[in-house]
Amino acid sequence: MINKTMRALLNVVLLIWAGQVSALEYQLQPKQIAPDTYLLQGKMQDFSRDNGGNIMNTAFVVTSEGVVVFDTGPSRHYGEAMRQAIAQVTDQPVLHVFNSHQHPDHFLGNQAFADVEIWVLPKTGEQIAQHGSAYAENMYRMVGDWMRATEVRLPTKPLDQPLMQVGDHRFRFYPFTGHTGADLVMVDETTGVMFAADMVFFQRMLTTPHTPGIGTWAKELRELAAIPFKLMVPGHGPVVNDTRAVEQMLSYLEWLDRTLTDSAAQGKSMHEVMQSKLPAALAAINLSRAEFVRSVVHLYPDYEEAAF
Amino acid sequence: MKITTILTLCLSLMLSAGLQANPQTDPLNSVMWDYNRQIFLGNKAEYVFDDRIKVGVPAFAEDPTQVPLDIDATALTGRIERIVSWADLNPIQHIFTYYPHSDVLPKISLRIKVQQATAVRAAVLTTDGVWHIGSSWLEATGGGCTTPSVGNADPYWESHLGETKSRVFKGAQSSRYKFRVIHPMDTGLVGSIPEFFIQQVELRDDSGSALARMELSPPVSENPVITFDLRTTDAQHHLWLRDNNGNEFEKAL
């Protein structure tokens, strides 16, 4: 009797365990957003063991000669899943991979593209070489087993040209700095799709750990919004066909700048600033509270310094 | 009476006793509570956990070398003798001891280093001999105490050691002194970098007597930013600092 119960219990435990193991699949569904253009949209969340770090958007373009990939995701496993997703859509080989910037969710899938040239802005290459392994370690801590066998695979080609023709598509590159000091924005001039990466967040609060300054970011966002496009793919959040995402960011950045300036002028401590209330429109953005608190840590010391 | 009835009675008595919050039970259930209590308060000291002592930290240490910490004991009515603050799971637990004069509000803000997720404490001793304990839990990835100071990669501090910026922020009922001083605040826990930190901070009036006196430990962050709140808004004060190498720094506020 006891044996039977134990065996039944063991079965239940095994079933749950098996369920968890098979749950570590990204289940990427490429969504066509323009001719030849596919999006793999991540969740509007922070890194977790549930989402495996799939919180960013990656994309690929199937040209007449081969496939162009924009960002490779947070892990080796994601990169491999992305390659399978590409193979579902086309038999064409992958020709070029671009990493938009130094953050781990945009380049740690590079191992799955070991046979392809991986392009980055020269400064991004230096940043990944310097900080990549620390990012990877941090990702293991945050998302756990999804990261298995992930290591930094460095980009192979510095991107210093403004244009690239691949088959029947023409890509133009814009080097910005607002998010991390080196941020690549790629526009497919053939389809009008702008791959804005983390220069643009929409409905998911922007992050500031490596921004050269929110003034710089805001200025560059105005420049970016002036570039002609039909469809804008943010690094995080849904695709838009107008400048809504940029406007949302500008309104937050302006509020953030004003709040930090006023707080410093009142002599507030960092912890007191963290208690500031976000206006309703900004509070409605995913992760707004958590990202605001992080940004106070990143940015407030400079505002305090200026107020002495 | 049946044995089962007696047992049930005993059990329910035990349960109801357990349900009442014991003011001497650590609300954060930290394994280091008793050890640190004995070190910082003494073995026989009388203490209560007291919600009026606010320990303000963010939920998560975004930067484990610069975690904001606000301590506010203004809700306490008794006269305060001193405030001791520590982080339970830091390799160096003690953060500071603060002796506020009656003209100074028992309220202070600074930034600290943490080595891992930990309980952060403020123990406030009132003149009746009772310690009032406030606590908060801080999540962290860690490494804050064993990371070389930023200054170690940049010789800037060597020519600017002790340079202090300060400002008085006048309010209606009180005024705030805020200052920032250039100092590496090395913990001594990084290979080949001995501990080097500001040990004493005093806020002095014209006659040189201290309105507020603080003893700092290395977990206070590099280039400390500290605020004091005063009840008076018009007096003249100056700041006096000394580090563990005997360097003294003074600044009129």
Instruction: Tell me how many residue pairs between chain A and chain B have CB atoms under 8 A apart.
Output: 53
Do the domain assignments include residue A290? no
pLDDT score at B17: 46
- Quote the percentage of chain A above a pLDDT of 90: 92
CB contact at 8 A, A83 and A94: yes
B149 pLDDT band, cuts 50/70/90, is: confident
Do the domain assignments include residue A75? yes
Query: Exposure pattern of A260-297 as b/e (b: 16+ CB <10 Å)?
Result: beebbeebbbbbbbbebebeeebeebbbbebbbbbbbb
Q: How far apart are CA A296 and CA B66, in angstroms?
A: 11
Do the domain assignments include residue A300? no
At residue B144, does pLDDT exceed 90?
Answer: no
| B71-94 confidence digits (pLDDT tens) | 999 999 889 999 999 999 999 999
- The β-bridge partners of B139 are B60
What is the total residue count of chain B? 253
Instruction: Read off the pLDDT of each residue in A103-108 and give the average, rounded to a whole number.
Output: 97
Instruction: Read off the pLDDT of each residue in A128-157 and give the average, rounded to a whole number.
Output: 95
SS3 content of chain B, % helix, strand, coil (to 5): 15, 45, 45
Domain range for residue B88? 45-252
CB contact at 8 A, B241 and B200: yes
Which residue has tokens 């991107």?
Answer: A159
Do the domain assignments include residue A247? no
Residue of B nearest to A273 (CA): B68
Least confident range of A1-15, B61-75, B132-146: A1-15
pLDDT score at A6: 63
| A19-68 confidence digits (pLDDT tens) | 455 568 999 999 999 999 999 999 999 999 999 999 999 999 999 999 99
Enter the ipTM.
Answer: 0.90
A204 CA: distance to closest CA in chain B (Å): 18
Give me the torsion for CA of A128, A134, A135, A136, rounded to 10°: 100
A33 touches chain B (CB under 8 A): no
pLDDT score at A93: 98
What is the number of domains present in chain B? 1
- In this structure, what CATH number is given to the domain that contains residue A76? 3.60.15.10
What is the bridge-based pairing of β-strands A117-120 and A94-98? parallel
- In this structure, what CATH number is given to the domain that contains residue B201? 2.60.40.2470
Domain range for residue A96? 26-242
pLDDT score at B204: 92
Closest CB from A141, A266, A269 relative to B68: A269
| A183-230 confidence digits (pLDDT tens) | 999 999 999 999 999 999 999 999 999 999 999 999 999 999 999 999
Do the domain assignments include residue B8? no
One-letter amino acid of A299: L
Closest CB from B56, B165, B176 relative to A271: B56
pLDDT score at B154: 84
A8 pLDDT band, cuts 50/70/90, is: low
What is the number of domains present in chain A? 1
Q: How far apart are CA B54 and CA B57, in angstroms?
A: 10
Instruction: Read off the pLDDT of each residue in B1-28 and give the average, rounded to a whole number.
Output: 61
Do the domain assignments include residue A261? no
Do the domain assignments include residue B39? no
State whether A271 and B66 contact (CB < 8 Å): no
* Strands of the A37-40 sheet, one edge to the other: A31-34, A37-40, A58-62, A67-70, A94-98, A117-120, A157-158
CB contact at 8 A, B183 and B162: yes
State whether A305 and B165 contact (CB < 8 Å): yes
Q: How far apart are CA B161 and CA B147, in angstroms?
A: 20
Residue of A nearest to B227 (CA): A269
Cβ neighbourhood burial of A149 (10 Å; 0-12, 13-18, 19+): exposed
Residue numbers of A between 273 and 292 with CB closer than 8 Å to B: 274
Do the domain assignments include residue A190? yes
A5 pLDDT band, cuts 50/70/90, is: low
Q: How far apart are CA A253 and CA A218, in angstroms?
A: 7
A307 CA: distance to closest CA in chain B (Å): 8
